[in-house]
Amino acid sequence: MRGQTSKLYAIVHCKCPHCRRGDIFTGSMYGWNIQHTKEICGHCAQRIEIEPGYFYAAMYVSYAMNVIEMLVASLITYLIFGPLTDATFWHYLIVIFTGCFVLYPFNYRYSRIILLHVLSPNIKYKPYYDK
């Protein structure tokens, strides 16, 4: 008999919010296999995209993540190159856009995970799938 799967484990490992066992994505986050969101969970048959257009709301979560990442990138650039001036403008621009580009797959995946696990009150965890 398995122990109860924690919500943090399910979020970090991109597991279904209903059973916390099935994978939500196919493919790897970074790699040649493009990641896709599954339609239903392979473990408990929970529909992942609850209704058509459900993941449009993930764009707002991704936007918030992007803003935080850009602020962190700007702070790191400030600490390395100093305040924003004409001489450091391109440093800031390159660091911020590179950060956005590199973190795009992460944002795609975890904005959907946050939407499913934290912001979806209709999907409840069923511990009997842990048995």
Of 13-17, 53-57, 58-62, the poorest mean pLDDT is in 53-57
Prediction pTM value? 0.85
The Cα–Cα gap between 125 and 123 comes to 7
Q: How confident is the model at residue 34 (pLDDT cuts 50, 70, 90)?
A: confident
Q: Is the pLDDT of residue 28 over 90?
A: no
> What confidence tens digit (pLDDT) does each residue in 107-126 have?
999 999 999 999 888 888 88
Residues forming beta bridges with residue 23, ordered by sequence position: 15
Would residue 121 count as lying in a domain? Answer: yes
Would residue 61 count as lying in a domain? Answer: yes
Q: How many domains does the chain have?
A: 1
Q: How confident is the model at residue 54 (pLDDT cuts 50, 70, 90)?
A: confident
Tokens 């279904």, residue? 16
The Cα–Cα gap between 122 and 76 comes to 39
Tokens of 81: 């190159």
> What confidence tens digit (pLDDT) does each residue in 6-25 have?
999 999 999 999 999 999 99
Would residue 77 count as lying in a domain? Answer: yes
Domain span at 39: 7-129
Q: Is the pLDDT of residue 1 over 50?
A: no
Rounded to 10 deg, the angle between the 58-81 and 89-102 helix axes is 140
Q: Is the pLDDT of residue 2 over 50?
A: yes
Would residue 73 count as lying in a domain? Answer: yes
Q: Residues 84, 92: contact at Cβ < 8 Å? A: yes
Would residue 2 count as lying in a domain? Answer: no
User: At a CB cut-off of 8 Å and minimum separation 6, what does 49 contact?
Assistant: 37, 39, 55
> What confidence tens digit (pLDDT) does each residue in 65-95 have?
999 999 999 999 999 999 999 999 999 999 9
Question: What confidence score (pLDDT) does residue 13 get?
Answer: 94
The Cα–Cα gap between 122 and 8 comes to 19
Would residue 1 count as lying in a domain? Answer: no
The Cα–Cα gap between 89 and 97 comes to 12
Would residue 45 count as lying in a domain? Answer: yes
